[in-house]
Amino acid sequence: MQKKLWINYAKVVAALMVVMQHSISHEWVNNLDNGNSAWRIINFVFMLSRTSVPIFFMCSGIGMLGRERSFKEIYTKNIWELLRIYICWMVIYGLYDAYRLCCGSLATPRTIINVFIKNIIFGRYHTWFLVALIGLYAITPYLYLIVKYNVSYFICLSILFTIVFPYLARVEELGRLYKVIENVNMNFVVGYTLYFVVGYYLYQIRLTKKVKIATIICLGISSLLGYLLSCHNVLLQGAACQEIYNEFSLFGFTMSITIFLLFRILFDKKEGKVSKRVLDISRFGIGIYLIHPLFLPFVTEIHGVWVVCAGFLLWLGMVLIMKIISMCPGLRVLLIK
């Protein structure tokens, strides 16, 4: 299956949004001040950034479910490539932690060995994404059968178990049913498999005029309601809360799939020099995702809406670093081939 150029646009923006999310999160949590104007802007950017990981999963679903793959191919090529990148980057984080130990005069052979083992086995807070992706790759042969024979049924069940039932579990008026649904933890039944499969489904659907109009309307309504309800929630509770628009909420799911479709609507036939540049940057997505936490301390001291600009500049810096890495043959093991 030939990948479309709009998927590369989606990957570039998703990488930007995940860097933005981690850059502004400290300000989103701490700069509430009863929902001042600066926080409202940050909250809007943070809300949009929550669609970044679902977009990554949807793009991956298109690539993996486009044709039938054997378990041998998946394990020796796709999963091994992710494991290779994971181990290489965790060695870098191990070196980084060892350097910090040396700066604090705490470095001993034992602590340095421990820090390497800890990074490689447990990873960092953001490496859960690779672990989840490896799990999805492992079940791709079964998911391929699903998308080939009855994808609509699977998506409907996934929405039911991932979004609807967990939402009902938070409705206290349901009484005893509340406890039953809450204890089952429905979102773990399928989780990100929903986005992995729905990405391929959205890739296949026909973009009629009605679909395009419905996409724009749904995106506008879900974004507006998610934003207003999250701001209202801050006034009621005095604390930032992303449950209203996270990836397993109704608004978060709707925003994620409509933004994904919007890339297809806007960039499906784009060509030229800009597209070539986007094509190059899209290859750096996983690298940007894995490296940017090393540089987050540079933006934690920036406050107000300026932190949004700082997040964008941080992303540009990560693109530059990835470009340099891609030009060095010995460092290309840090990138997806």
- Spell out the per-residue pLDDT of the chain, length 337, in tens: 456 789 999 999 999 999 999 999 999 988 776 557 888 999 999 999 999 999 999 999 999 998 888 889 999 999 999 999 988 898 888 888 888 888 877 777 888 888 888 888 888 888 888 888 999 999 999 999 999 888 999 999 889 888 887 777 666 555 566 566 555 555 555 789 999 999 999 999 999 999 999 999 999 999 999 999 998 888 888 778 888 999 999 999 999 999 999 999 998 876 666 777 888 888 899 999 999 999 999 898 888 889 999 999 999 999 999 999 988 888 888 887 7
How far, in Å, CA of 61 to CA of 260, rounded? 12
Q: In this structure, which amino acid lies at residue 246? A: N
Neighbours of 24 (CB within 10 A): 24
H-only helix segments in 160-272? 165-169, 176-184, 187-190, 193-204, 209-237, 250-267
How far, in Å, CA of 228 to CA of 222, rounded? 10
How far, in Å, CA of 47 to CA of 231, rounded? 11
Residue 289 CB partners (closer than 8 Å, separation 6+):
15, 18, 56, 126, 129
pLDDT of amino acid 273: 66
**In a 3-state reduction of DSSP, which class is residue 271?**
coil
pLDDT of amino acid 182: 58
Largest CA distance in the chain: 65
What pTM was estimated for this model as a whole?
Answer: 0.90
**In a 3-state reduction of DSSP, which class is residue 294?**
helix
How far, in Å, CA of 248 to CA of 192, rounded? 9
How far, in Å, CA of 215 to CA of 213, rounded? 5
Neighbours of 215 (CB within 10 A): 20
How far, in Å, CA of 259 to CA of 49, rounded? 11
Q: In this structure, which amino acid lies at residue 74? A: I
Q: Which two tokens stand for residue 210?
A: 């009605």
**In a 3-state reduction of DSSP, which class is residue 241?**
coil
Q: How far is CA 89 from CA 119, 126, 198, in A?
A: 9, 12, 29
How far, in Å, CA of 146 to CA of 154, rounded? 7
How far, in Å, CA of 65 to CA of 264, rounded? 18
Helices then strands, counting H and E runs in the chain, come out as 18, 0
Q: What b-and-e string marks burial along 227-250, b requiring 16 or more CB atoms within 10 Å of the CB?
A: beebbebbeeeeebebebbebbbb
